[in-house]
Amino acid sequence: MAMPDGSASIVIKRPISEVFDAIADITRMGEWSPECRAGRWIDPATGPAVGARFEGDNVAALGPVTLKRWTTTSEVTACVPEEVFEFVAEGYTTWRYEFTELDGATTVTETFHHAPYSGWQKYVYGMLLRRSAAMVTGMNQTLARVKERLEAS
């Protein structure tokens, strides 16, 4: 994988199997992500495995104002229980979660990578919206919510 465009990590005081299972269950992504509101496996997939495909419903908002809604189709490209879960959204952005365990706690590192923006996207997403920085902020929020919910259970 190429160098990530963004990265975020957190330590969750739960067993690695529990943390991996929660994150790799994309039907739960709406519980944690500030942008992805729902996810569902595409038949015949019913869970995480290399080649499994899923859809994700996303919303971009500025405060209470919804700016954009869209659905992505993703494919799982790496799935090693308790080690790594990775998928490519729309054949463009790679999302990767890596898991390590120490003394019953789990460190999760989430990264993303996409091809460089060009043309109007370079100006709008790269300069105006600072999309990569916003995605890192979203990853930190996502991981904090996973931690909060798993440690509360």
Q: What is the mean pLDDT of the chain?
A: 88
Q: How far apart are CA 58 and CA 49, in angstroms?
A: 22
For residue 127, is pLDDT > 50? no
User: If you ran DSSP here, which 8-state letter would residue 21 be given?
Assistant: H
> Cis (ω within 30 of 0) for the bond into 34?
no
Q: How far apart are CA 137 and CA 8, in angstroms?
A: 9
Protein fold of 7-152? Alpha-D-Glucose-1,6-Bisphosphate; Chain A, domain 4 (3.30.530)
Q: How far apart are CA 105 and CA 15, in angstroms?
A: 6
- CB distance 42 to 74 below 8 Å: no
pLDDT in tens, 110-122: 998 876 655 645 4
CA 78 vs. chain centroid, Å, equals 13
Global confidence as pTM: 0.87
CA 127 vs. chain centroid, Å, equals 23
When mean pLDDT is compared across 25-29, 36-40, 137-141, 147-151, the lowest value belongs to 137-141
- CB distance 39 to 24 below 8 Å: no
26: nearest Cα among 71, 84, 87 = 87
- Sketch the domain layout of the chain as residue ranges: 7-152
pLDDT in tens, 14-67: 999 999 999 999 999 999 999 899 999 999 999 999 999 999 999 987 778 888
Phi then psi dihedrals of residue 100, to 5 deg: -135, 145
Arithmetic mean of pLDDT, 105-109 = 98
